[in-house]
Structure 1
């Protein structure tokens, strides 16, 4: 009989894992520790006010007839193949654990909506309805018949059980499984090397054995006293972070894209590194800061056997760069390139562990540690030609976990993408202005290799800095002090009622409270006078 008191913590965990595996072999559900990412999602979903904030919908339009029964069987094949698709997260003595069912099904709803607006509304509702991860599968599907031989199919996966790579696997294998169901061809996908539960077990063991210590030391040094990105906004920041988002499109022509690629070749960098350098440059211009952190996703699948596994492996790497010395463009790109390479060399440390180590206090109004993201996908897209000829469509009502997410990809006519932003925090006009600055810098940078950053003035934008305001005309400001007056302020042909003034005061008050200003605190004011001063 084993004396548990003589076992080390690591040995106890190994014993517990073996006992759970033996229990699963008897046909019951299997328990496994959650991964670091799953633990974070589990905690955040309890705190955030946006339902479905971590849902990952993918929707396509299908040309041709679709057999709902064959589609249902194909989806169930995937659930049987991938443990993550039949996993729930349950509490065991207050600790979240993965509970992996021996069998499972993917819920598939069927609907008919010839009207485009009704169909889009059904997609949106299905995409962002919250999952109950403790009781329901982390996947669901919706098939809408729009017309004869025209369907919309949407699959929603919770981020705790998947990532963009996983969605790619899911759609690729779904087309194969559906072809097998309707045509009798073999369903023979590539074998799965490592299950997601085994990955989470290994991740926990690495931490327990101290194998993350070296990487954590790097991140603690690199991200010491982390800066907070402070972007200008004409909207008071909510006191609690809001994730409901909107998007602004961004495009470059093929010629402009080729010029950026050539810049990368000339500076010994990748396209992503150059995009990161110019994105950070745009953020520095618009914020007035010279020390920034921008995040980027890392696939997190470097270990063998993870290529075909569905699960949340993606990790966030934090690229911190300083431009206090106003370097020339070539030096700046080299600096950013080195920071990206350093970050990738330490990408095995889960972002959640870095946050716990580096961040001393958290602001509920802002994303923690990383406020801006940049993505440039490098995974091959699924081939859906065989049985499901599809076109991607939008589920609308997007969400974002950051102040800014710049998603770029190489399209048929050059770089294209979107900038996601929380619409409760920023206006479309502010983000459009940032987009215009970013695209102008991308166009200007290839011909400004030896210019200092401060001298690279995009020709398509006014040279006035973003922090500057147009001067007010020299017109006397009249303040009405009589209590009965409806008008509170006058300046030339401008008037402000007492109701409007009160509204502005309350909005400013909410903004200051959201920034942490308390009663009796001091606030500096920079203004040109007039209405703005009052």
Structure 2
């Protein structure tokens, strides 16, 4: 039996498994609705072929005599795919499958079921544990599944191209790449120095508009709210990204920071983001857990324009790319922020962007549609998951689909639905006038504003019949040192405003300009 050390990402999930026990929090569900004449037996065999091809899907974690966890890859044997009749409650059946709790020490991190709804409609439910797969893994998994299904329909086993490396090779290579922390020239030492500086005094927990007080221990119970960014707006966002030499991920990060600022988070907004971690082309065709996490602080200081915010995000993101190898959990250990069982360290809001989708997966004779399936859990307070179909000629005109995974102990569903609408509203405003100051962005809808003015505050206020100039002058007499005007970095008190306007008035009078001249 060959044992190999865990990768850094696997170690993180093994620690959580030991701490919390089996949980669906880190499940990666893939639910595909299949319409057409499906060969269910061929599909079941094809799923087994994919499990046999990717060793991460046949891996269990074992602890050696010294208490150190390792990974063990089992031979394929028989992988069982359930084929069931969907005569009952399909949603309940899918929820049961995606909510499965994997035992990482005794169970392979993958399950599969084919649900027969009719002769021409089936649902494939694949559930993978995050220790064996990440979002980028769904690409090679889908390609291999389509290839294997085509072969099995013809009555033969698929002959896959040989993979250049396996996940165990990656785990060993990662340790070699990072080097030792006591070596100042090592990758891990240099990158930890960067993150020490970048994340010093990061605000936490982030001030969010919670519906309820944060409990002392997070339950990780969650739900999903879906939303969509229409193709026209997506095209405009892509144009803005191209002009700014930014990625779409950077645009969304900046817009999310602006939204959270307007909801009370302040001008220093840390947002977590997954990064693929596939730093070598040899890893592109592997199913495995390569993803790392970074924290990007959206800097909104000084009342900048959105274009300026986007430039700051770009600068920080490029620097983070250069320091992406050190595992996030090691960054947390080194920074040693105040630990809490109530919230995630260093960030509580994550944004994930993927421009891949399973609408492009092709099974012979079958149309495939990916469906959203929540696990009933939430890893963070808020997770904005954005994805765009890719693979057809009109990809640039495709909408962006989004889900907000939220902690149900903190937020009501209606609040998150409003949050999604406000996020889209911010995108609409920043793309139309990126040079406008972010402080002037309005996140409220007309209905929300009317409700605030008429329903929440129905008290009528008598307004004195005096001009604006008279009211400003009175305010200046009563509070001369209060700030009256803000323009960029410049601020004028009421006293200074009256003095400056007086000088302008004198200048106009000296040139013969009087009442009614303009």
What is the aligned counterpart of 1:326 among 278, 303, 313? 303
Alpha-carbon distance in structure 2 between the residues aligned to 1:434 and 1:269: 25
Q: Which residue of 2 aligns with 1:42?
A: 14
Structure 1: gaps of 5 or more residues: 1-28, 475-534
Compute the displacement of 1:243 (Å).
Answer: 2.2
Q: Which residue of 1 aligns with 2:381?
A: 403
Please provide the CA RMSD for this pair. Answer: 2.7
Pair 1:227 & 2:203 matched: yes
Pair 1:417 & 2:402 matched: yes
Q: Please show how residues 217-296 of structure 1 align to structure 2 within 5 Å.
A: 217-228=193-204, 229-296=206-273
What is the aligned counterpart of 2:188 among 209, 212, 234? 212
Pair 1:127 & 2:98 matched: yes
Tell whether the 8 Å contact from 1:87 to 1:99 is kept in structure 2 after alignment. Answer: yes
Compute the displacement of 1:149 (Å).
Answer: 2.9
Measured against aligned partners, the alpha-carbon deviations of 1:448-469 in whole angstroms (never above 9, x if no partner) come to 23322112235735797x9999
- Closer, same or farther: CA 393–458 of 1 in aligned 2, 3 Å: closer
Tell whether the 8 Å contact from 2:351 to 2:384 is kept in structure 1 after alignment. Answer: yes
What is the aligned counterpart of 1:157 among 128, 132, 143? 128
Tell whether the 8 Å contact from 1:193 to 1:309 is kept in structure 2 after alignment. Answer: no
Alpha-carbon distance in structure 2 between the residues aligned to 1:50 and 1:326: 46
Compute the displacement of 1:436 (Å).
Answer: 2.5
Q: Which of 1 and 2 has greater Rg? A: 2
Q: Which residue of 2 aligns with 1:81?
A: 53
- Closer, same or farther: CA 288–126 of 1 in aligned 2, 3 Å: closer
Alpha-carbon distance in structure 2 between the residues aligned to 1:161 and 1:336: 31
Structure 2: gaps of 5 or more residues: 181-185, 390-396, 460-518
Tell whether the 8 Å contact from 1:440 to 1:461 is kept in structure 2 after alignment. Answer: no
- Closer, same or farther: CA 404–469 of 1 in aligned 2, 3 Å: farther
Compute the displacement of 1:345 (Å).
Answer: 1.5
Pair 1:431 & 2:416 matched: yes
Length-normalised TM-score, structure 1: 0.77
- Closer, same or farther: CA 459–141 of 1 in aligned 2, 3 Å: closer
Q: Please show how residues 20-31 of structure 1 align to structure 2 within 5 Å.
A: 29-31=1-3
- Closer, same or farther: CA 86–353 of 1 in aligned 2, 3 Å: same
Pair 1:345 & 2:338 matched: no
Alpha-carbon distance in structure 1 between the residues aligned to 2:212 and 2:357: 39
Q: Which residue of 2 aligns with 1:72?
A: 44
Alpha-carbon distance in structure 2 between the residues aligned to 1:164 and 1:432: 24
Q: Which residue of 1 aligns with 2:368?
A: 390
Tell whether the 8 Å contact from 1:144 to 1:153 is kept in structure 2 after alignment. Answer: yes
Alpha-carbon distance in structure 2 between the residues aligned to 1:468 and 1:372: 30
Aligned residues: 444
Q: Secondary structure at the match of 1:389?
A: strand
Q: Secondary structure at the match of 1:30?
A: coil
Pair 1:200 & 2:178 matched: no
Measured against aligned partners, the alpha-carbon deviations of 1:168-209 in whole angstroms (never above 9, x if no partner) come to 222221121122112146734343122111111122233444
Tell whether the 8 Å contact from 1:143 to 1:153 is kept in structure 2 after alignment. Answer: yes
